Amino acid sequence: MLSNQTIQIIKSTVPVLEVHGTDITTRFYQLLFTNHPELLNIFNHANQKQGRQQAALANAVYAAALHIDKLETILPVVKQIAHKHRSLGIKAEHYPIVGENLLAAIKDVLGSAATEEILQAWAEAYGVIADAFISVEAELYEQAERQSGGWTGFRSFRVERKVSESDVITSFYLVPQDGQAIAAFEPGQYISVKVEIPGETNTHIRQYSLSDAPGKPYYRISVKREEGIKNNPDGQVSLYLHNQVEQGDVLWLSAPAGEFTVNLSDKRPVVLISGGVGLTPMVSMLHTLAEMNPDRQVTFIHAAQNGHVHALREQVEELALLHSQVSIYWCYEKPTEQDRALKAFHKEGYIDLPWLQQVVPTKEASFYFCGPIPFMKAVNSALQKWEVPEADIHFEFFGPSSSL
């Protein structure tokens, strides 16, 4: 437990963190990777280069300071991050390293304003927060290993099939190389894929949503080819998977993880809204709902530029034909004439509230959405204007958490 004096000191730093938080976390990562370059094998270089990781950590530190007297209020966020940490292989021994470099970054950025009293208070607070993460993650590691077909760390999987789903998205069907059972997962969860790219010094880890229903003898991920500029880390792994990984090749996977899962015990209508490759967890949810809750009303909405880049469309349309409770709607920004002839094509342009109110039977439903951040901001704003309760709004970021 933190003393009242420590709590008050931490709270006094909230305004400073609001102004200098990203500067501190940027300096933190510079120090961390200089002092411990081996950690570059874990962290996503693209998120570092884009500043997303620095912003996410700054938000987390700010939230911890703001709620330091009631840390239980940020426990859901702790659990969400802990799932990612377990999936990446973050261990208890990493936390002292992080703490040491975070305090050094605070001192570097704030200079004389970072008094010994403030640094000591933050060291004490960091210890409490780190213990919370370590405890939650230890439980997740144990769950991953002890479940039927489970494992810890990374396990070798063979690419059984490689299927082109659209002009930009390819599915990989992955089976365990040892021929043993694989762990079950909840629709909406993801796996981490670790690859060694020829010519690269460090390994790269990326997290991909599982795009098929649970209960299959394989895992399926559907990966968008990210065309970036030369040496841009954002597209390195996706381009490697698309261009170099073939049927029969081996990839290393962590066990399924993630908190963004559909509630199968809820009998109310469910609305699944996706943009671009954000449809991957939604397709998994749709498959599962159709199989396990066939009487539950499901509205599936997907936005894409056009049919050329719309992946898994035929699978979703087949499910809608087989299950009368499933309604599907396509929204294309720039539809082709062929797209306009599709039965499910209903809107040109972007998803907005008036259209959602037309196609969604009721707002008394559970809403799930995923996609690019601007898309998610628009959907979230529309649902808030519709006065959908916050408890019924669920979303997932691809990468570090941001703000909607």
pLDDT tens, position by position, 110-135 = 999 999 999 999 999 999 989 989 99
- The count of domains in the chain is 3
Residues 330 and 238 in one domain: no
Structure tokens at 390: 């916050």
Residues 135 and 11 in one domain: yes
C-alpha radius of gyration, the chain, whole number: 22
Tens digit of pLDDT for each residue in 222-254? 999 987 645 555 688 999 999 999 999 999 999
Tens digit of pLDDT for each residue in 39-64? 999 988 776 777 778 888 888 888 88
> C-alpha angle with apex 103: 91 to 117, nearest 5 degrees?
130
Of 112, 146, 180, the last residue of a domain is 146
Is residue 349, in this structure, part of any structural domain at all?
yes
Is 95 among the catalytic positions? yes
Residues 1-17, mean pLDDT to the nearest whole number? 91
Is residue 142, in this structure, part of any structural domain at all?
yes
Distance CA 391, CA 363 (A): 12
Is residue 48, in this structure, part of any structural domain at all?
yes
Is residue 264, in this structure, part of any structural domain at all?
no
Cβ-based neighbours of 111, under 8 Å, separated by 6 or more? none
Of 146, 180, 204, the last residue of a domain is 146
Q: Active site residue: 95, 126, 173, 368, which one?
A: 95
CA 207 to chain centroid, in Å, comes to 7
345-348 and 326-332 beta bridge pairing: parallel
Is 219 among the catalytic positions? no
Residues 198 and 289 in one domain: no
Tens digit of pLDDT for each residue in 293-316? 999 999 999 999 999 999 999 999
Q: What residues make up the domain containing 194?
A: 155-253
Report field, pTM of the whole predicted structure over 0.75: yes
Q: Please answer whether residues 235 and 224 qualify as being in contact, where contact means their C-beta atoms are separated by less than 8 angstroms.
A: no
Query: What is the overall mean pLDDT for the chain?
Result: 92
Residues 309 and 365 in one domain: yes
Residues 313 and 213 in one domain: no
What is the pLDDT at residue 404?
Answer: 66
Residue 237: C-alpha distances to residues 69, 185, 224 (Å)? 41, 24, 10
Residues 12 and 39 in one domain: yes
Structure tokens at 391: 């408890």
> From the annotation, which residues make up the binding site for NADP(+)?
276-281
Of 118, 146, 174, the last residue of a domain is 146
Amino acid at position 300, single letter: F
Residues 386 and 274 in one domain: yes
Is residue 39, in this structure, part of any structural domain at all?
yes
> From the annotation, which residues make up the binding site?
85, 190, 206-209, 276-281, 397-400
Residue 346's CATH number: 3.40.50.80
Q: Active site residue: 126, 137, 141, 219, which one?
A: 137
> From the annotation, which residues make up the binding site for FAD?
190, 206-209, 397-400
Residue 213's CATH number: 2.40.30.10
Distance CA 213, CA 100 (A): 43
Residues 43 and 141 in one domain: yes
> C-alpha angle with apex 369: 365 to 371, nearest 5 degrees?
165
273 pLDDT more than 60: yes
Percentage of the chain beyond pLDDT 90 is 81
